[in-house]
Copies of this chain bind each other. A is one copy, B any other.
Amino acid sequence: MNIASLDTPALIADLDVLERNINEMATHCRHIGIPLRVHSKTHKVPEIAKLQLAAGSQGITCQKLGEAEAMVDAGIDDILIPYNIVGKPKLKRLTSLSKRARITVALDSEETATGISQQASADGCVVPVVLELDTGGGRCGVGSPQDARCLAQQVMKMPGIDFQGVMLYPSNTRAKPFITETVALLTRDGIPVRIISGGGTGAEAASKELGCTETRSGSYVYEGMTRIGNSEMLAPERCVLRVLVTVVSTPTPERIIVDGGQKTFTSYPPTPYGHIIEYPDAKIYGMSVEHGHVDVSECSHRFRVGERISVIPLHQGMTSNLHDELIAVRGHNVEAIWQIAGRGQVK
């Protein structure tokens, strides 16, 4: 099938660029000497996760349990969920999923640990866990080596939990004393630290320097350039995603309207919203819910209703999350239509 026969708006992935991004990150991590555990939250597509695994990733990361379920359903069997799993319905799902694949979860409190321990014990399974350390993210995580030690000691006493180590975010080299001291305290207590999981595209070398045993990198898969420099982020030849849209109105010589707005691209407002590949001088200056407003005053091309243009979205992960399907193309040829199986799996 040719791309020209697609209805719009259509979310498209350029396979050549996707494969290049995946292979370059795999090579980069091998070169540095740090194992990769790709974060699938950016794409949520099992087929892409499998390409990443085939390129050498030692497993994947899913931000929510629902995403992990979608990935296990697709045959993926080693997943880290760097998220506190809380509440009876999720704990039951966790133990159920743990019987189908190796699911490691993060936790940062005695309450979360107790919940996992009780459910795992009741369901006759053992859940591998890592302690989340707050190395500057200001989000979840214990805030000091002493707190980490205290929580690790509690966790070590709980049945149904297999303590594996720590997980941190972000992987900033300033966190080195925190990590070193935590590992030293735990080791001194006889608590083995098998996993030190670092994270973030662009932080692979920092994770290595911190002594991490793996790096969770995600956004590289689409954005390509973020690990090298934000200024080049929109370089079209490194960006995988594009939204194919149709010009539906040309009300004035300066303005055209396309059939993708906030519900196609997400609602985060700062311009440029996205980059129009065919006409870089045309600027998306606004979006209503279902319309994209484009200023074409700097553009010599005269647009016609029915014409199609390709927009690289600014917010690749959020844009993906609005679509059910990702159309994988090579050149103008549609090679596959992939379900974004993890979309909407916020539970």
Contacts and interface: CB of A to CB of B under 8 A. Distances in A.
A347 B321 CA distance: 16
Contacts of A289: 41, 63, 317-318
Interface string A100-115: 0000000011011001
Interface residues of A, number: 63
A8 interface: yes
Contacts of A346: 9, 259-260, 263-264, 290, 322-323
A109 B111 CA distance: 62
Interface in A206-252: 246-252
A337 interface: no
Contacts of A46: none
A331 interface: no
Number of copies: 2
A212 B250 CA distance: 25
A201 to B, nearest CB: 14
20 contacts: A7-B87, A63-B289, A63-B290, A86-B305, A86-B306, A87-B306, A108-B249, A109-B305, A112-B249, A112-B305, A115-B306, A139-B288, A140-B251, A143-B251, A266-B266, A267-B267, A267-B318, A268-B269, A289-B318, A322-B346
A28 interface: no
Contacts of A143: 251-252
Contact of A84 (B89, B139, B249, B255): B249
Contact of A268 (B89, B112, B264, B268): B268
Interface in A126-143: 134, 138-143
B84 A305 contact: yes
A43 interface: no
Contacts of A111: 304-306
A64 interface: yes
Interface in A1-33: 5-10
A218 to B, nearest CB: 10
Nearest to A82: B290
A177 interface: no
Contact of A7 (B5, B112, B246, B347): B347
